[in-house]
Amino acid sequence: MTIFEKALAGEMLDRRVDPEVVKIDAIQVQTSRALAKLNQGVADADTIRTTFSQIIDRPIPSSSTILLPIHSDFGHHIWIGERVFINMNCTFVDVGGIEIQDDVLIGPNVQLVSVNHPLDRQPALRHRFYGRRVVIKRNAWLGAGVTVLPGVTIGENAVVGAGAVVTKDVPGNTVVAGVPAKIIKQLPTD
């Protein structure tokens, strides 16, 4: 298994003992440089899509829109569906994988985080990390300033209120808000 497959599988990785972690580090440097260049200029929608497609190493549909600035630590583990709208200043920490399905709306300053560290306080373990995929299902809407933590799935047609911190899965057709996010309303289904 490659280091990238291990990260997507949620295996514990250790920066000090796994020599392949340098491959992730090298891609992170490339991603940082490419995003710095993209974010410092004024770019049209096609240029943003083309450049971000190169960073994530897969095409972004022409029906999707990304506003600048955008931030990512790795980039290669992001999947973006059709008719997705990503507002300005969003951050994707994606070593564990981030999947954004069709028709998703993402407000400004949203953070999707797919990497975590063990809670053990021993200094020797602080260099360990593992990935947990974040999934934003079809037709979900994340309000401004939402943070979605590792391993969370936002259900189909769900709405996450501005400023929420999502620590566990959100069922489809619900509205959640708060810190931590809790269900505040059930939405009607078709």
Q: Respond yes or no: is residue 127 known to be catalytic.
A: no
What Cα–Cα distance (Å) separates residue 151 from each residue in 32, 42, 167?
24, 34, 8
DSSP category for residue 10: T
Does residue 131 contact residue 111 with C-beta atoms inside 8 Å?
A: no
User: SS3 of 162, please?
Assistant: coil
Residue pair 74/96 in contact (Cβ under 8 Å)? The answer is no
Catalytic residue among 71, 76, 77, 117: 117
User: In whole angstroms, what is the distance from residue 185 CA to residue 190 CA?
Assistant: 16
Question: So which residues are the catalytic ones?
Answer: 117
